[in-house]
Structure 1
Amino acid sequence: MTTISRRQFGGLLAAGAASMALTRGAAAQGDGVSFMSFSYAEEPNKPLVQKLLDGCKAATGVSVEPIGSAWGDVQKNILLRQRSRTLPTTAQLSERWLPAMAQLPEIVNLDEAIGRDKLLAVMDPKVLAMGQVGGKTFAIPLITGSIGMIANKEVLEKAGVGVPQTIDQFRAACLAVRDKVANSVPFAAATKNPNSIPLDFMIMVWAHGGRIIDETGKVLVNSPEAKAALGLMAGMMKDRLIAPEIDRPDSRRLFAQGAAAFYIDAPQTRAFVRSFSGKGEAADAFVLPMKTPVLKAGDTPRSIQWGHLVSAFKSPAVSGADSPGVKWLAYLLSDAAQGSFPPALSALPTTKSAQAMPIVQNDPFFKAWAEATGTPLTNEIGVWSNAPELSTILSEEVQAALLGQKTADQAIGSMASRMEASMAKKG
């Protein structure tokens, strides 16, 4: 793989006139460029991805074939395609998947394909770090932000309550919503899907002052704080304040349709609410980023670092500065792409120039989100190469407690021992 050494990054972005047109129907591992995308599989966001593809074609001459894959199926589909040697040229990833994906021998080191200096010229090192594992860049950050709590102002008004600041106030607000808003799920917490449950549980553990795994890999979840967090969630399930079989897409629809007062998501929630409510931008009036409730006044609210990445897999299409795959990746960091796609998703762009654009600086929602979520913390599960197994363990034990199959203490004890075994096996 050739490092870009004699070209300016901006020159690469503008090199469309000299790019070679791609033939239609090219195989995923051939000279054609393909893009597996979960945003393309989401009906509200499909046109936004198509706009990216069209923009790349117009700017560089490179045609990119979209491959839609549901968010929860992307990792599985990539592994299946690896076994059948039909990996896409590029794929959209959640930042928490990268440590596991970086283990694939086919993944491209973008420090070599594009050049670390070129990437750092357009984005802050802390942003680029989302795409790095073991000191190497295996993905470019496409959008960034954080995962925190959102309140529905209309639902709270119906229930006659304000925005809660503490855990006790939060539970009381949920009780009021349950009793005054018919057919509601007051807190639309994720209770299904090992890709979703860990985020909600992690934030609740942090709110109680606990940890799940520290930076050295030591499992810390078997603590009074984590037991209290899971006990709270199990009690809320028993009192019909949260519901079983809820995944993030369900939470978004419940919230958008006025059937949930609170849920946890990334800033792209605004785009989903606009679509699912049928109100468009008028729905912005009831989407309220809020500080995650804390155990006691004065504690620091917590949120989780979040972003979407794009990785590339080895093929003739990704073979140097002039290859169509590298031009596609470079286009994703252009002002044209970064100034349109992230803001349309209600997310923050990743490049320094796009972050300074009026569309970002003058948006009150982005300001409110930044004030509510503060400084996000790293996903304690997602940074490990065995993250899928850890997520499954955590989710199974949380579900067991929520469904009354185990006490919170039993579930946390089992969660800790299983996670410790997984970390020991990982080495």
Structure 2
Amino acid sequence: MSRTPDTHRPLSRRGLLAGIGALGALGAAGLTGCSTPAPATDRTGGATEIGTINFYNNVLGEESQKAAWQTAVDGWQKRSGRTVKPVIYPYDQASTQLALAARSGDFAGVGQAGPWQVLVPTGILADVSDLAAGMSLPTRTVDSLRVDGKLYYLPVNASGIGMVCDGRIADEVGLRSGLSVEDFAAALERIRKQDGKLVPYAAVTKNPDLKDAVHWMWGWGSPVVTDSLEVTIGDAESVAAVSWYKQLQDAGLTKSGVARGDARILFGRGQAVVYDDAPLARKFVTTNGGSAELVAAIRPLERPRAKGAPSCNRFWGSGLFCSAGKGERTSKDFIAYVAGDLSAATALYQQSALAPADAKVAAQVPGLAQDTFQNGFRTEVADHARAAAWDRLASYAQIDTAIGDGVAAIMAGQSQVQSGLNALRKKVEDILAQNA
């Protein structure tokens, strides 16, 4: 596996254009929000304080998260005496809305929803390394998010895409953390022999979620894309990883045509034993009609290891970023409050089932020490999570889609592993070249 250095290749304005995509067709469209955004930030001077900051987000518009985040916003306003102006839009519009705000000069304040990557090339984001330095965050995750030595995005929740299982069946077949990929496959085979109606591992086997193949390629030792943006897809390690993943499907240990949503349903209905998800997995069991017994039995698994290599998970999670210059100190104070204040962290945990990324804060949240699932997710998944090299690029979604399409073709038998990955390498190289 490639080493993750402290600094990474800087992004270009061309990369911003790739992230904006079809914005030209939108003309002079503005942000969709519940209030008029505050004036554009003056970035000619140093960091200053300001009385009102914008909060670009989707969480205050979603019933499942609104109460927790409103508690955090209200708590900070009361403590600081400052005001938050929410600018709310659906998450699937976030990239467009943030790019529009950047182009018009209106982005000023804190962002939660949306890909911060599209704003990096503009130079309008503040480096939040100073905030991270005072927190107990996984070094591996933080370092993987740095761009040219700077950190523009602060993780708020302990997260990643990791494996979860039905602990009742897992105990019967010897499925546990720390297994080799061979022992993991053997445990899946025991599940299949015990009950042919169960899907041993509801792995993602179709797009849009087959970017999941990345953490398996990492686990075999392929960088996939290096920090200097060299594409290694198609090397011996990635071929071995995808061949193994395809063999699981061919052996009936996984199921063809499964996306993340399908896997959640299969697991929630008790029809699958293992699948990959975020720390909200236990909540998804409930929303998909899972039994109380399954909710109590669900537990995280450390991803199995190939040839003794470190366990790897792709970073996923909620985080915050902010504009630089005028109001930067105020925005950073808000971020520090949400990520590190005990009352804010408690609200996010109790009302949205999300544990704080800061381990020191997590240790103080009432009830979290007794939450075996969330604590297990931190140690078995989040502590092994890292961002991909292209997660820092405005074109990250294009690359994820290309990887998913390429691996999906292999899983469907439309191409051989080596030739399919060779073609995928060329496609990813083309995307990177277009945004160099």
Shorter-normalised TM-score: what interval? 0.7 to 0.9
When residues 132 and 294 of structure 1 are mapped into structure 2, their CA distance, relative to the original with a 3 A threshold, is closer
> Equivalent residues in 2 for 1:48-197 (5 A)?
48-60=68-80, 62-65=83-86, 67=88, 69-70=90-91, 74-79=94-99, 89-92=109-112, 97-105=115-123, 107-110=124-127, 117=130, 120-122=133-135, 126=139, 129=143, 132-156=146-170, 161-163=173-175, 165-175=179-189, 177=191, 184-194=198-208, 196-197=209-210
SS in 2 for 1:228: helix
SS in 2 for 1:405: coil
Residues 231 and 425 of structure 2 are in contact (CA less than 8 Å); yes or no, is this contact kept in structure 1? yes
Partner of 2:410: 401
- Which of residues 290, 300, 306 in structure 2 aligns to 1:289? 300
> Equivalent residues in 2 for 1:237-248 (5 A)?
237-244=249-256, 246-248=258-260
Number of equivalenced pairs: 385
CA deviation profile, 1:237-281 (whole Å, cap 9, x unmatched)? 44554445544344333323322211222333234334444557x
Partner of 1:6: none
- Which of residues 200, 208, 217 in structure 1 aligns to 2:229? 217
SS in 1 for 2:271: coil
When residues 348 and 397 of structure 1 are mapped into structure 2, their CA distance, relative to the original with a 3 A threshold, is same
When residues 133 and 343 of structure 1 are mapped into structure 2, their CA distance, relative to the original with a 3 A threshold, is farther
- Which of residues 384, 388, 391 in structure 2 aligns to 1:380? 388
CA deviation profile, 1:302-358 (whole Å, cap 9, x unmatched)? 33444421123579xx6354x5x5554343132221243157555442446513415
Where does structure 1 lack aligned partners over 5 or more consecutive residues? 1-23
CA deviation profile, 1:20-42 (whole Å, cap 9, x unmatched)? xxxx95214556734323x5566
Compute the RMSD of aligned alpha carbons: 3.9
User: Structure 1 CA distance, aligned partners of 2:163 and 2:149?
Assistant: 32
CA deviation profile, 1:373-399 (whole Å, cap 9, x unmatched)? 485253334444242232122111011
Residues 36 and 66 of structure 1 are in contact (CA less than 8 Å); yes or no, is this contact kept in structure 2? yes
When residues 155 and 312 of structure 1 are mapped into structure 2, their CA distance, relative to the original with a 3 A threshold, is same
For residue 189 of structure 1, what is the amino acid of its counterpart? A
- Which of residues 295, 301, 311 in structure 1 aligns to 2:311? 301
CA deviation profile, 1:213-254 (whole Å, cap 9, x unmatched)? 223322222122212222233344445544455443443333
Please identify runs of 4+ aligned residues in structure 1 that moved more than 6 A.
none
When residues 227 and 131 of structure 1 are mapped into structure 2, their CA distance, relative to the original with a 3 A threshold, is closer
When residues 84 and 248 of structure 1 are mapped into structure 2, their CA distance, relative to the original with a 3 A threshold, is farther
> Equivalent residues in 2 for 1:356-375 (5 A)?
356-357=363-364, 359=366, 360-373=368-381, 375=383
When residues 184 and 91 of structure 1 are mapped into structure 2, their CA distance, relative to the original with a 3 A threshold, is farther
What TM-score do the two structures reach when normalised by structure 1? 0.73
Residues 204 and 229 of structure 1 are in contact (CA less than 8 Å); yes or no, is this contact kept in structure 2? yes
Shift of 1:142: 1.6
Residues 88 and 313 of structure 1 are in contact (CA less than 8 Å); yes or no, is this contact kept in structure 2? yes
For residue 280 of structure 2, what is the amino acid of its counterpart? Q
User: Structure 2 CA distance, aligned partners of 1:137 and 1:265?
Assistant: 26
User: Structure 2 CA distance, aligned partners of 1:374 and 1:63?
Assistant: 30
When residues 354 and 229 of structure 1 are mapped into structure 2, their CA distance, relative to the original with a 3 A threshold, is same
- Which of residues 356, 360, 370 in structure 2 aligns to 1:349? 356
Residues 345 and 365 of structure 2 are in contact (CA less than 8 Å); yes or no, is this contact kept in structure 1? no
For residue 414 of structure 1, what is the amino acid of its counterpart? A
For residue 423 of structure 1, what is the amino acid of its counterpart? L
For residue 230 of structure 1, what is the amino acid of its counterpart? V
Identity of aligned residues (%): 21
Partner of 1:18: none
What TM-score do the two structures reach when normalised by structure 2? 0.72
When residues 369 and 125 of structure 1 are mapped into structure 2, their CA distance, relative to the original with a 3 A threshold, is closer
Q: After the TM superposition, which of the residue ranges 350-359 and 76-85 deviates more from structure 2?
A: 76-85
User: Structure 1 CA distance, aligned partners of 2:195 and 2:344?
Assistant: 41
